[in-house]
Amino acid sequence: QSVLTQPPSVSGAPGQRVTISCTGSSSNIGAGYDVHWYQQFPGTAPKLLIFGNNNRPSGVPDRFSGSKSGTSASLAITGLQAEDEADYYCQSYDNSLSHVFGTGTNVIVL
Amino acid sequence: EVQLVESGGGLVRPGGSLRLSCAASAFSFSDYSMNWVRQTPGKGLEWAASISSSGSFIDYAASMRGRFTISRDNVKNSLSLRMSSLRAEDTAVYYCARRGHLGDSFDLWGQGTMVTVSS
């Protein structure tokens, strides 16, 4: 159903760097639409983490960063902390489907 | 406090109807496009519907078009989603979300309301 593909899970030890990919197509990310990222803890609503490909809202730690190239985008977490264990979703716009979300990635802190 | 609060979820039989509401507070509601996003149990996020700040432009996900109706009241600072012909696969947590001025991201979310479609 989701047109943006993410790995189901990524893991890393505290202090390490992890990246989450978000793969789309020429009708969404590749068409030039911005990518946004959300963080979600179990039982709570998603929270905006990165907007406009690589911008952090006020209050989001600078260990979170985003990038976009071609038909894909990535979220990087540097200096991984235990509190970063959560689900992460990318989101963009699609020419046919309007707003689309990624399949979601569970980040596991070892 | 800037917030969105959903209500109206519950248990409904297949083929039934339900109306969800979202109350906005502490921001200029009429300046923002609003959306409904749902999340099926244990699964990912799915955009359902959006309405422009004035209410003049409305869009739906294909699977909801013709069954769901989004509306807003800029005087009462409220957003609604009327759902009909409900199916088991509509079972989800429904969030209202504001499309803010940070790109076209969803920058403010409510806590969600659970809708269960079951006989």
pLDDT at A1 (0 to 100) = 60
Contact A11, A18 (CB under 8 A): yes
Which B positions 76-95 lie with beta carbon below 8 A of chain A? 95
Start-to-end Cα distance in chain A: 30
Task: Work out the mean pLDDT of chain A and round it to a whole number.
Answer: 96
pLDDT above 90 for A91: yes
> What is the mean predicted confidence (pLDDT) over A18-25?
98
Contact B46 A52 (CB under 8 A): no
> What is the mean predicted confidence (pLDDT) over A25-52?
96
pLDDT at B86 (0 to 100) = 97
Instruction: Give the model's confidence band at B103: pLDDT under 50 very low, under 70 low, under 90 confident, else very high.
Output: confident
Chain A residues with CB inside 8 Å of B62's CB? 97
Task: Work out the mean pLDDT of chain B and round it to a whole number.
Answer: 96
pLDDT at B43 (0 to 100) = 78
Tokens linked to B111: 């806590």
Least CB-CB distance to B103: which of A46, A51, A104? A51
Chain B residues with CB inside 8 Å of A57's CB? 102, 107
Chain A residues with CB inside 8 Å of B44's CB? 2, 89, 101-104
* Biggest CA-to-CA distance, chain B: 42
Instruction: Give the model's confidence band at A15: pLDDT under 50 very low, under 70 low, under 90 confident, else very high.
Output: very high
User: What strands, in cross-sheet order, belong to the sheet with B3-7?
Assistant: B3-7, B18-25, B78-83, B68-73
Q: Which residues pair with B115 in a beta bridge?
A: B10, B92
Instruction: Give the model's confidence band at B17: pLDDT under 50 very low, under 70 low, under 90 confident, else very high.
Output: very high
> What is the mean predicted confidence (pLDDT) over B92-107?
92
